[in-house]
Amino acid sequence: MKRSWKLSIGIGAGLVLLAGLVAGLDAADRAFPPPLEKAQVVSTEVLDADGVLLRAFATPEGRWRLKTAAEDVDPRFIKMLVAYEDQRFYDHAGVDPLALGRAALQFITNGRIVSGASTLSMQVARLIEPRETRSFSAKLLQLVRALQIERRLSKQEILEIYLTHAPYGGNLEGVRAASLAYFGKEPRRLTVAEAALLVALPQSPEGRRPDRHARSAKAARERVLVRSAVADLTGEGEAERALSEAIPLRRLQLPAYAAHLSEAATRKRPDIKQHKTTLRRGIQQGLEQVAREATSRLSPRVSLAMVMADVTTGAIVGEVGSADYFDASRSGWIDMTRVLRSPGSTLKPFIYGLAFEQGIVSQETIIEDRPADFFGYRPKNFDMSYQGDVSIRQALQLSLNVPAVRLLDAVGPSRLMIRFRRADIRPVLPPNEAPGLAIGLGGVGITLKDLVQAYAALANQGQPVLLGNGVDRAPGLIEGEPLLEPQAVWHVADILSDVLPPQGSPRLGIAYKTGTSYGYRDAWSVGYDGRYVLGVWVGRPDNGAVPGIAGYQTAAPILFEAFSKSGVPIAPLPPAPAGVVRLAQADLPISHRRFSMTAAGLISASTREPPPQIVYPPEGARVDLGARSGQISPLALKLQGGRAPFRWLANGRPLTELSRRRTNQWMPEGAGFSTLTVIDAVGRAASVRVFVE
């Protein structure tokens, strides 16, 4: 009895001591946790719309350390890594007793270290808490830290820290940085040889760097491939084939695209480690290649900028802020897509669009290109010559200044500025100045991004599009009234798509316009197809003159080359809206055959208003409005002359209430002949007979 009592006391005391030891270890573990927060220090990344790396920034200590998840890496690599480094990784609790016993026995037998016993967990402990010396105490600390790490993290989390922090020579850390630097690709798909090399390098990252010690790297790769556990994973004959693959002999630069946008994103949100953009790397890569090549042909101190956007979403898919971010001679650090500059003639299509919309002109209307004086403002053409009588179509294609100012005088500069506001664009006027005729020739300030946003509405059949900023500003369509009516937009596109490409450039099927600012300071070219719009600016960031630059000769070739190398297929421009046609000059109504102006630059007018005249549709026209398909589209109606308000009738029945506008719409009830009539405020009438198909 006495003996059993003593035994019970001994067992109880032992349990108390054990519990105390466990509690003490747990307390020590909590008091001295592993520095896992160091594992969170990774490179900042800028990604494209598909999650592809555009640009990375080194950590504060200058390391390329890209955060890596297990799904970012080829599964075969992970299997090879575990097979080579830690076969019982998924079974032990941070320390492998069998490996420790084997290593100890080999040390006693051979008097030296034959093989290590470090598990992946112990290596992670060393990576986040490195020691300068390889002493017994340092090894013991790694062992303890491995046990602590295993208590806190899952096996996948431990593996991902290794994949992110493993050293690969120089300032490369992690398998993603190594794969990009040595193979030029993400590690999602690796060959057996590539995977084996990435497994081998962390054991001696400096001594096995393939760009400096190719023989050592190749030998280390071979040791991985011939390890039986690894050979079992590679498959029949794969190891032999991998052994014959060449070792990469140079280190590649990590992706470094979209410098300005990346800098802006990281400066605005430095706390975020991954910034998602709307850019597409293939497009961005093509635009930057064109920018580099074009720069070599430009004069010193001249830079360029480009913006490409998807007009269906408003997303910026490519953006180049300067010719070279690091070129101080060209002030490359300045993002020229956001700087106000004079747009030259690039606003002219919007003037012509307003004139088409208001029924003032048709494409083949004759307009004068002769010296004119608009109350002291005397515009001159770029080449200082005049063409005489030209059609509206020719005037826009040749970018003649005087006809554009005549039309702007007719439609009104203020109305043009109001239309830009519909597209959330606000060109900047000189201080204390109201909108004047000079805005038609570049007398305002506008950024390349806003100019592209304006043209995006042209490419989107008149519907305004809000461009994003590439990162955190959401793009999309702007609800409300259109910038221009679809019929007017089609006429503009029909004219601009027929402008000859610059010499040496192929026809691409795009509509485009060029511009040159006063004093040869800015050269512009903006083009669009049915899906994308691209704008190009060339000039000096300090606003200095660049003799010889011009939109057509300097910027347009870059536009065509950039469209070609962006990799996007050219989408056809939208077809003409129902009922819209381009009439020959002989088929125009009398009032539309010539745009007549007085010497003062005003539309010709007598003391008594001329009677109303329907200028569209013309008498006897056959218009296809889709009646055969059963889905009839409305027909645009336009008139000239007469005194407002106007009343429209179709086959004797009023269409709407009285209107002061000279445009209207009529929805036919079906196919066949119809008579359209307009009556002005003093009872004068005009009629046309049309056939709806």
Catalytic residues: 85, 345
HEC states along 266-335? HHHCCCCCEEECCCCHHHHHHHHHHHHHHHCCCCCCCEEEEEEEECCCCCEEEEECCCCCCCHHHCCCCC
Q: What is the DSSP letter of 442?
A: T
Q: Give yes or no for a contact between 452 and 309, defined as CB atoms under 8 angstroms apart.
A: yes
Query: What count of Cα atoms within 13 Å lies in the side-chain half-sphere of residue 414?
Result: 2
Provide the β-strand partners of residue 411: none
Tokens of 312: 């269906």
Tokens of 453: 């946003």
Length of the chain: 693
Q: Give yes or no for a contact between 56 and 254, defined as CB atoms under 8 angstroms apart.
A: yes
Q: For 588-645, where are the E strands, in sequence order?
A: 594-595, 613-616, 622-623, 635-640
Query: What count of Cα atoms within 13 Å lies in the side-chain half-sphere of residue 594?
Result: 8
In 3D, which of 443, 441, 444, 484 has the Cα closest to residue 460? Answer: 484
> 10 Å Cβ neighbour count for 107?
14
Helix, strand, coil % over all residues of the chain, rounded to 5: 40, 15, 45
DSSP calls for 95-141: S-HHHHHHHHHHHHHHSS--S----HHHHHHHHHS--SS--HHHHHH
Cis peptide before 502 (omega within 30 of 0): no
Tokens of 277: 């953009």
Q: What is the DSSP letter of 37?
A: G
- How do 635-640 and 64-65 pair as beta strands? unpaired
C-alpha–C-alpha distance, residues 615 and 388, integer Å: 25
Tokens of 71: 């799904």
Q: Which residue has the tokens 């609800």?
A: 479
In 3D, which of 148, 142, 140 has the Cα closest to residue 93? Answer: 148
Residues 6+ apart with CB under 8 A from 486: 461, 462, 577
C-alpha–C-alpha distance, residues 305 and 314, integer Å: 19
Residue 119 Cα distances to 34, 113, 202, angstroms: 16, 16, 14
Q: Give yes or no for a contact between 340 and 450, defined as CB atoms under 8 angstroms apart.
A: no
